[in-house]
């Protein structure tokens, strides 16, 4: 009896092991969607993850279009993507909070490069600070970029994708779109909205051969921390944000993230969660959302408290530097800044 029980246990363990191995093989397989000659439009493509995605697409022979608000940043990015091997790279200065700007962007890319095969909604902004210092503007801005800009872009590319019965749409959301994180209320609210939008489009577009992939990264070393907006106790808020972005064991590099995103898009995956911590917290939230919400309340107690009226002022991360954020502790993020076009002539600390 004991021997039979032991055999049953081993069989179950073997079955679980086989399932895990199969899942790993599925997750890592590259997929057969060839980017050579495809037209790829990446919003927020001048720096960070968007730029890395553009480089990798260019290296595979795609025709790439990127947009952002800063013309100088875009020109530097264009040269980098050309150096990656792109036959054609177009740049567009656009404010994606404007619906007309989004639709004309898609129209101009179509006229100059051809119908868009792959749309990556990557543009993003982030505002960190206690709830007491957030105002309606903070929520409106994040919704404009993360939700409305993505919606307008998808509607603009869909008619041709549906007609061809082929297309890829990649929406860069966040684990913050699955689990709300303290001091990031506007960001998380807008990313939750994007996740819901993306999953809804996925469900209705598969019948037309259009694959929508929702990407939910955890902490990534893109080098974007100093572009974030901070409120409250500015130095402390930026310090925890910058240090979190620099932890080697808990973060993934932008290059790794981009490779996984392209592989998921080739396979036509519905979702990609990046980083072990992000996968674990998402899984736990799915099983016990109330417990995770209570856990986040304890996390909140470790973060800087609200302050007086001065905390309502919006400051960029590079305006909130300290000895901690300018130390060896943030070396990985500093390297990502240099690698991913994030150094936009910011004044050095302590200016």
Q: Which residues are catalytic?
A: 187
The dihedral through the CA atoms of 112, 117, 118, 119 has a sign that is: positive
Please report how many Cα atoms fall inside a 13 Å half-sphere around the Cα of residue 181, on the Cβ side. 22
- Beta-bridged to residue 118, according to DSSP, are 40, 168
Residue 63 DSSP SS3: strand
CA distance 256 to 264: 12
Q: Where are the alpha helices (DSSP H) in the chain?
A: 2-28, 48-59, 71-83, 99-113, 136-143, 149-164, 185-205, 234-245, 254-267, 276-287, 289-301, 331-339
**Pairing mode of beta strands 39-43, 167-172:** unpaired
Residue 9 DSSP SS3: helix
Q: Are 85 and 63 in contact (CB under 8 A)?
A: no
CA distance 28 to 267: 10
Distance of CA 342 to the CA centre of its chain: 15
CA distance 209 to 201: 12
CB neighbour list of residue 295: distance below 8 Å, 6 or more residues apart: none
Q: Which two tokens stand for residue 239?
A: 């310090």
- Beta-bridged to residue 119, according to DSSP, are 41, 169
CA distance 120 to 50: 8
Distance of CA 55 to the CA centre of its chain: 16
């Amino acid at each position: 009896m004991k021997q039979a029980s032991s055999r049953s246990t081993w069989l179950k363990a073997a079955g679980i092991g086989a399932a895990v191995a199969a899942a790993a093989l599925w997750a890592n397989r590259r997929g057969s969607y060839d980017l050579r000659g495809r037209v790829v439009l990446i919003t927020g493509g001048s720096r960070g993850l968007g730029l890395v995605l553009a480089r990798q697409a260019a290296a595979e022979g795609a025709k790439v279009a990127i947009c952002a608000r800063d013309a100088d940043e875009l020109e530097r990015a264009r040269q980098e993507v050309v150096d990656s091997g792109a036959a054609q790279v177009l740049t567009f200065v656009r404010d994606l909070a404007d619906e007309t700007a989004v639709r004309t962007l898609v129209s101009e890319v179509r006229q100059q490069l051809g119908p868009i095969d792959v749309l990556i909604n990557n543009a993003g902004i982030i505002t960190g600070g206690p709830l007491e210092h957030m105002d309606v503007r903070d929520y409106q801005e994040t919704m404009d970029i993360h939700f409305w800009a993505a919606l307008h872009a998808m509607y603009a590319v869909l008619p041709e994708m549906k007609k061809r019965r082929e297309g890829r749409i990649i929406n860069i959301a966040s684990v913050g779109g699955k689990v709300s994180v303290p001091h990031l209320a506007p960001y998380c609210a807008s990313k939750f909205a994007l996740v819901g939008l993306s999953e809804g489009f996925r469900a209705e577009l598969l019948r037309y051969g259009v694959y929508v992939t929702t990407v939910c990264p955890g902490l990534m070393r893109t080098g974007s921390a100093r572009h974030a907006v901070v409120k409250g106790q500015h130095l402390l808020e930026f310090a925890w944000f910058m240090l979190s972005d620099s932890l080697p064991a808990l973060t993934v590099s932008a290059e790794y993230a981009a490779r996984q995103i392209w592989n998921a898009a080739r396979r036509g995956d519905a979702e990609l969660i990046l980083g072990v911590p992000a996968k674990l917290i998402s899984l736990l939230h799915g099983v016990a959302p109330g417990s995770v919400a209570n856990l986040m309340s304890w996390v909140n107690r470790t973060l800087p408290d609200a302050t007086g009226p001065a905390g309502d002022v919006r400051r960029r991360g590079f305006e909130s530097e300290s000895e901690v954020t300018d130390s060896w502790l943030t070396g990985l993020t500093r390297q990502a800044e240099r690698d991913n076009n994030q150094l936009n002539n910011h004044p050095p600390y302590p200016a």
